């Protein structure tokens, strides 16, 4: 056998083994099907970029509120707000962004434009010309990008632990952004890293059923496209510095809630948001972490409702 042929076989074998290892390490083994979705109990709607999982509650003539989740924890991030505000008389909607929960994992770029388009499509599907938007972490980045694009469609804006520059000094995001290496990291280890982070958030928040929450989290990682969507997210502008975006937000109609024990969003970022958004109301919760909506829901709900009821 010629050396060139032998070398080609070796290279091909290495590539096959490499991708086999990736397949074994990756939790993605399942496909989203109509059966999976029908058993979820959620509603689904076909939007510009694909099917979106969502839930609504409350009186149909109530003031609309949309809850936007963060970078990895799906819409059950709002379990302690969703029904509460429906009972207050609001028409509430929560949804899974593309790549999360049982929403589609469409091909293409996961950037601010895609997430804003999804939110706009959802509002249009409900016939809502205006809504309050409550957003957590990276969801806040989506919310302010939406406000920047469609200011007349936002009534009040509530940002919990809002992202300002998630990629700043973040080794994990930096690794994912490296060509080839980042592809391997995203496929093989990123789902596990995000799961560990989510578990830490649930434990710190004192969620009674951490195991149940983690099963819901891990389930989304088992469907093809999860790691691809996360990789694209970390490689695009929604996690970069948002100076220009926050500068376009109406501070007088915006509330920011932040906990002093937040290990994801430093105080310096909150102060930067404050400087960029004159008139914004900042509520600081002492000894509270990144997920105050889960950790101290009663306090957060009071702050949100009071802000929504202000003249």
Q: What is the residue-wise DSSP string for 245-270?
A: HHTTS-GGGEEEEEETT-SSS-HHHH
Number of folded domains that form the chain:
1
Any domain includes 49: yes
Note the pTM of the prediction, 2 decimals.
0.92
Chain mean position to CA 152: 23
Percent above pLDDT 70 for the chain: 92
Assess whether pLDDT exceeds 80 at residue 12: no
- For 265-298, write each residue's pLDDT tens digit: 999 999 999 999 999 999 999 999 999 999 999 9
* Cα-based torsion angle of the residue sequence 223, 226, 229, 235 in order, rounded to the nearest 10 degrees: -160
Residue-level pLDDT at 23: 53
Assess whether pLDDT exceeds 60 at residue 9: no
Any domain includes 213: no
Percent above pLDDT 90 for the chain: 86
Whether residue 134 contacts residue 158, with contact meaning beta carbons closer than 8 Å, is answered with yes
Any domain includes 193: no
Grade residue 70 by pLDDT with cuts at 50, 70 and 90: very high
**Pairwise CA distance, residues 120 & 159, whole Å:** 18
Any domain includes 183: no
Residue-level pLDDT at 24: 58
Any domain includes 175: no
Grade residue 27 by pLDDT with cuts at 50, 70 and 90: confident
Whole-number Cα distances in Å, 171 to 162, 163, 168, 174, 210: 20, 16, 9, 5, 27
CATH of the domain at 276: 3.40.50.1820
Cα angle vertex 15, ends 11, 21, to 5°?
Answer: 145
Assess whether pLDDT exceeds 70 at residue 160: yes
Any domain includes 20: no
Any domain includes 126: yes
Grade residue 5 by pLDDT with cuts at 50, 70 and 90: low
Residue-level pLDDT at 184: 85
Any domain includes 304: yes
Domain that holds residue 148: 42-166+241-309
Cα angle vertex 201, ends 77, 131, to 5°?
Answer: 25
Residue-level pLDDT at 311: 74
- Could you give the residue ranges of the DSSP H alpha helices within 101-237? 112-126, 138-149, 171-176, 181-188, 190-205, 210-221, 226-234
């Amino acid at each position: 056998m010629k050396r060139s042929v032998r070398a080609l076989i070796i290279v091909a074998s290495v590539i096959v083994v490499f991708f086999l290892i990736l397949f074994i390490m990756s939790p993605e083994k399942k496909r989203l099907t109509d059966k999976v979705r029908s058993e979820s109990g959620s509603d689904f709607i076909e939007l510009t970029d694909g099917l979106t999982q969502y839930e609504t509650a409350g009186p149909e003539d109530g003031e609309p509120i949309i809850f936007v989740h963060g970078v990895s924890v799906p819409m059950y991030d709002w379990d302690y707000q969703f029904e509460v505000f429906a009972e207050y008389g609001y028409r509430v909607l929560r949804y899974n962004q593309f790549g999360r929960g049982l929403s589609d994992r469409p091909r293409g770029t996961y950037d601010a434009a895609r997430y804003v388009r999804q939110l706009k499509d959802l509002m249009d599907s409900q016939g809502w010309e205006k809504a309050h938007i409550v957003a957590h972490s990276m969801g806040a980045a989506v919310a302010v990008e939406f406000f920047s694009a469609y200011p007349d469609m936002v009534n009040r804006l509530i940002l919990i632990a809002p992202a300002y520059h998630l990629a700043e000094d973040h080794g994990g995001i930096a690794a994912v952004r490296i060509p080839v290496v980042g592809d391997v990291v995203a496929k093989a280890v990123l789902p596990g890293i995000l799961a560990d982070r989510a578990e830490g958030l649930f434990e710190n928040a004192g969620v009674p059923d951490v195991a149940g929450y983690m099963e819901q989290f891990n389930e989304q990682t088992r469907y093809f496209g999860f790691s691809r969507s996360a990789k694209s997210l970390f490689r695009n502008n929604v996690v970069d510095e948002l100076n220009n975006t926050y500068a376009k937000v109406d501070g007088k109609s915006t509330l920011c809630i932040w906990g002093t024990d937040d290990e994801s969003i430093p105080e310096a970022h909150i102060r930067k948001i404050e400087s960029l958004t004159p008139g914004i109301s900042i509520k600081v919760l002492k000894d509270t972490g990144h997920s105050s909506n889960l950790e101290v829901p009663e306090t957060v709900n009071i702050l949100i409702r009071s802000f929504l009821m202000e003249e």
